[in-house]
Amino acid sequence: MDKLFGVIRQGGFHFYRTNHLEKAMGYLPEEGSTLRPETTLVNSMGKVGYPWVQANLISGIHDYEQFYGDLYRKCFVQSRKHPHLAPMLKTFWREYQAVDKDLQMALWGLQAGSVSDEQVFINRTQFQDEAQELLALKGWVEKGELPADFFSLEQIAAMIAEHKPEGILEKLSQSFSYRDNIDVYRYGAKKKKQSAVYRVGHLIETVGRKIKEKG
């Protein structure tokens, strides 16, 4: 479940076969050549016989309690990655910014990115100076480190179970496509490898479903 988009959507967590990491390094895109370097890498690997699988499993929460500076940078980037969603995101964030400073910072980052012509990189250090200047201007203090036990598993499960998108969130939810079954991205992989990937993905989904039922 995504804090900034306000909906349950596709994304991480990602698991990798570590014995293929050295080969994968050769497919890392040059910095600045794409706003989706990880997707570019796995798609490139898929085309040479190393497919990836997406399981239809809700695995946790995303982008909750991020540093303000990271939220500013992330949403500056989102203005380029998801320009078609910007009007809905602005509506959502404006509606809740008075009670959620994270969404207020997100809105500032998105607005700045929408009017800037600066090249964007997937780099945590970019726009940090701008974010710190904004914090100082608003009289905000950056967050401290988040304790590992800040969210309990019970809290996370409850947040997901109680999530009911309404209004603008319902529209945002409809902007993301979901499938009932596992998606296997083949990209020219041999059938034997495709079958193996599907079986592993099916196992992950089955185990996740049983854990959810017991919880």
Q: Residue 136 falls within a domain, yes or no?
A: yes
Q: Residue 191 falls within a domain, yes or no?
A: no
Q: Residue 15 falls within a domain, yes or no?
A: no
Q: Residue 7 falls within a domain, yes or no?
A: no
Q: Residue 134 falls within a domain, yes or no?
A: yes
pTM of this prediction?
Answer: 0.79
Name the token pair of 40.
């570019």
Q: pLDDT over 70 for what percent of the chain? A: 81
Q: Residue 96 falls within a domain, yes or no?
A: yes
SS3 93: helix
pLDDT mean across residues, the chain: 84
Could you give the CA distance from residue 196 to residue 29 in angstroms, rounded to a whole number?
Answer: 27
Cβ atoms of 204 and 38 within 8 Å: the answer is: no
Phi and psi (nearest 5°) for 149?
-100, 20
pLDDT of 59 reads 81
Could you tell me the residue range of the domain that residue 123 belongs to? 68-150
- Tens-place pLDDT, residues 106-139: 999 999 999 999 999 999 999 999 999 999 999 9
Name the token pair of 98.
């008075």
Q: Residue 76 falls within a domain, yes or no?
A: yes
Q: How many domains does the chain have?
A: 1
